[in-house]
Structure 1
Amino acid sequence: MSLPPIATPTYGAGGNFTIACSTRIPATPTQCLDVVLDAPDYPKWNTFCRKCTIDVPSSTPSPPDAPSGDGYLTLGTKFTFDVHTGPAAVNDDGGAGRPTPLELSVLERIDATAEDGRRGWRVAWRMRPSLALPGFMLRAERIQEFVEAEDGNETDYACWETFYGVLAPVVRLAVGSKLTPAFDAWNSGLKARVEELRKGGK
């Protein structure tokens, strides 16, 4: 859904608009986070961002107990998403996506005191500026939170991305209506992949 701008860790308040989605996933926060950090696994579940390519690995170690492994994202990793929006986010048309360069900006535990005694994880990434698209023109940061449900066996998942800069209103007019179904596709794909892995899928 499209919402008024929500502040992000890097850029704070003052954005133009936010796209958000949420769901409950029958798995622990760490199991859910594992799927999001596993870059080589993206083609198996994500029709919005169909490929995640690591451009510059990070030397920053993952926090204790965070999922890690060969090809996993960690704090400071620079990577590129192959982004598809609109109907292609749901029905594969075989077309090329839009390369979107990003950097992992947050990977941290959510303290139990912050969520009514429930623990979890927070991960975020932001657009990498370039000569063709400097930050003052367009910048965005996506936050995902995985918080254990009351019974401790499920996860309340929330994801939102806020857009900033002089081009943000143009993005909203041009592709804003396509971003909501694309985020919904991300949401359902993540849930389905976590459930598949819990059943022993590969």
Structure 2
Amino acid sequence: MKILKKIKIDMWINAIMTLIIGILFIARPQGAMEVTAIVAGAVIFANGLIDLIYYMNIWSELYIRGVLFEGILKCILGIFIITHSGITSILFSYIFSIYIIISGIICLETAVYMQKAFGFNAGIYVVLSCVVVIAGIIMMFFSPDTVKSAALMAGVIFVISGVIDSIMLYRIHKISKNFVGEIKDIVDEIDDIR
């Protein structure tokens, strides 16, 4: 059950964070780029700290093992964005594309875990997560001269990622509510294997 709780916490943080960042980038793509970059950097850093704190408390879980790496990457990226907000506004597409790729990989990892743990077809979530990762990779090739276009694209991608996370969260909540006994059996089997 700890794994499911961690997935829910990650998904809520990721969904809320990506929606807020996406809306900020769509609403004020160029005028408030530095302020947006600082806010985004702080949110990314805070998300990384939460991952690290959670890792310290429950480091032995199978799903949690990648959280240390993700948390460190998010913290480094957040600090870089906060301390280099002027450069960030120029190199916006390069820096935030990395975060979009990380966010898409987290969605992909969660979708695959949900498919294995709950036995339902999560193919659409895998495809949508791959689209987010591919969009982040494509965004890396935007020129720094097209910061406004890159900001709008990043905003749209962040909103899509937030919506994907929200849908997955709804599915996890619905499944966990309906199949509490089955989930406990699966978790017990995983614990027995270890």
* TM tier, smaller: under 0.3
Structure (1/2) with the larger strand percentage:
1
Q: Which has the higher contact order (CA 8 A, sep 6+)?
A: 2
Output the TM-score relative to the length of structure 1. Answer: 0.26
